[in-house]
Amino acid sequence: MSVSVCSEIDALPGVHRIENCSKEDMTALAMEMTHAVYPHDEVYGEFCTVETYVDCPPDKAFEYLADVYTLQEWTYSLRDFTLPDETGMVIATDKIGGQTKIFTRVESNEQAGTVDFHCSWDQGDELWMIYLMRVVPAQLVFKKPGCVILWTNCRHPYYLNNPFPEKGPPGRKVWVGDMWPFFYAGHAIELENLKQILEYRHRSELPMTLGGPQ
């Protein structure tokens, strides 16, 4: 099953998705940012945090993020989502890992502005890849319209050692933890995707949700 993605987003400035940016180009961009954007101890530390200002009302940004299917639009490589199971978990393909399946459940709180993605490569029994996101009204922190989006990951020990090697697709040579040194660069690129898409949808008065598989 596939999700109906806004067809114009790949033409937006600063949007990098697997449809308009090859893996080689994405790697080159991440490598360039790795050497220029942040210090060594942040890359190899225990946390990875990125943040940005978005010219989009916080309620609209929250609505967009809380829809798990929008991951297919603003992330670089998550595609081909299924319908949710009885727990709300969906399965998609993380194409940066070839045919790798990624299991995802969203836990959100509108009053707090939090949207947390509980994910895992290869299996859904233990969702250990936790993407913590918060939408903050920009009026509170910058005294202007729009919102600030904060995104943090913690370096779970499974990033260092794959506890479920038998669950992965045959022949896969990369583990998600191998990419930790490039998490800052990769997430900064995806956050720019998110910013551009949110601002585009807001100014174009487009829906803020995708509505699931067709």
Whether 26 is covered by a domain: the verdict is yes
pLDDT at position 38 is 59
Residue 188, Cβ density class (10 Å: 0-12 exposed, 13-18 middle, ≥19 buried):
buried
Q: pLDDT by residue (tens digit) across 2-25?
A: 567 888 899 999 999 999 999 999
The order of strands in the sheet holding 114-121 is 47-54, 147-154, 129-137, 114-121, 100-109, 90-94, 78-79
CB 159 within 8 A of CB 174: no
Whether 78 is covered by a domain: the verdict is yes
Which residues form the domain of 53?
17-203
Which domain CATH number covers 102? 3.30.530.20
Residue 160, Cβ density class (10 Å: 0-12 exposed, 13-18 middle, ≥19 buried):
exposed
CB 201 within 8 A of CB 18: no
Q: Which residues contact 15 (CB under 8 A, 6 or more apart)?
A: 9, 192, 193, 196, 197
> φ and ψ at 68, to 5 degrees?
-55, -30
Residue type, position 103, single letter? F
pLDDT at 37 over 80: no
Question: Count of CB atoms within 10 A of residue 4's CB?
Answer: 13
Whether 211 is covered by a domain: the verdict is no
Whether 94 is covered by a domain: the verdict is yes
Whether 65 is covered by a domain: the verdict is yes
pLDDT at 42 over 70: no
How far apart CA 148 and CA 19 sit, in angstroms, is: 27
Q: Which residues contact 151 (CB under 8 A, 6 or more apart)?
A: 49, 50, 51, 131, 132, 133, 187, 191
Q: How far is CA 65 from the centre of its chain?
A: 9
The strand pair at 114-121 and 100-109 is best described as antiparallel
Residue type, position 147, single letter? C
> φ and ψ at 152, to 5 degrees?
-130, 140
Whether 187 is covered by a domain: the verdict is yes
pLDDT at position 31 is 87
pLDDT-derived band of residue 214, with 50, 70 and 90 as boundaries? very low
Q: pLDDT by residue (tens digit) across 138-193?
A: 999 999 999 999 999 999 999 999 999 999 999 999 999 999 989 999 999 999 99
How much is the average pLDDT of 35-63? 84
pLDDT at position 28 is 92
Q: Structurally, how many domains does the chain consist of? A: 1
Q: How far is CA 104 from CA 57, 87, 107, 130, in A?
A: 26, 10, 10, 10
Question: Mean of the per-residue pLDDT values for the chain?
Answer: 93
pLDDT at 35 over 80: no
How much is the average pLDDT of 197-213? 93
Whether 10 is covered by a domain: the verdict is no
Whether 214 is covered by a domain: the verdict is no
pLDDT at 34 over 60: yes
How much is the average pLDDT of 190-211? 96
